[in-house]
Amino acid sequence: MPAFDLAGAMQALAAADERLGRLIAETLEFRVESDGTESPYETLLESITYQSISGKAAETIFGRIRALGKNGKAPEPEEMLRLQKRVLRKAGLSGAKIAAMKDLARKTLDGVVPTREESEKMTDKELIDRLVSVRGIGAWTVEMYLIFRLGRPDILPIHDLGVQKGFALTYGKRYIPKPAELQKFGERWRPYRTVASWYMWRACEREASKARKIGKAPVRKKRGKRTSGRGRAAKAGKLRGGGNRAPSGRPEGLPLRDGLKFCASGRTPRGRDFPEAFCRRSPSPCEGRRDAG
In degrees, rounded to 5, the angle at the alpha carbon of residue 266 between the alpha carbons of residues 265 and 268 is 110
- Nearest Cα neighbor of 152 from 130, 133, 128 is 128
**Three-state secondary structure readout of 72-117:** CCCCCHHHHHHCCHHHHHHHCCCHHHHHHHHHHHHHHHCCCCCCHH
Separation of alpha carbons 266 and 260, rounded Å: 10
User: What one-character DSSP code corresponds to residue 251?
Assistant: B
**Which residues sit opposite 251 in a β-bridge?**
245
Q: Please give the DSSP secondary-structure letter assigned to residue 189.
A: G
How far apart (Å, rounded) are the C-alpha atoms in residues 226 and 209? 44
Q: Which residues are catalytic?
A: 160
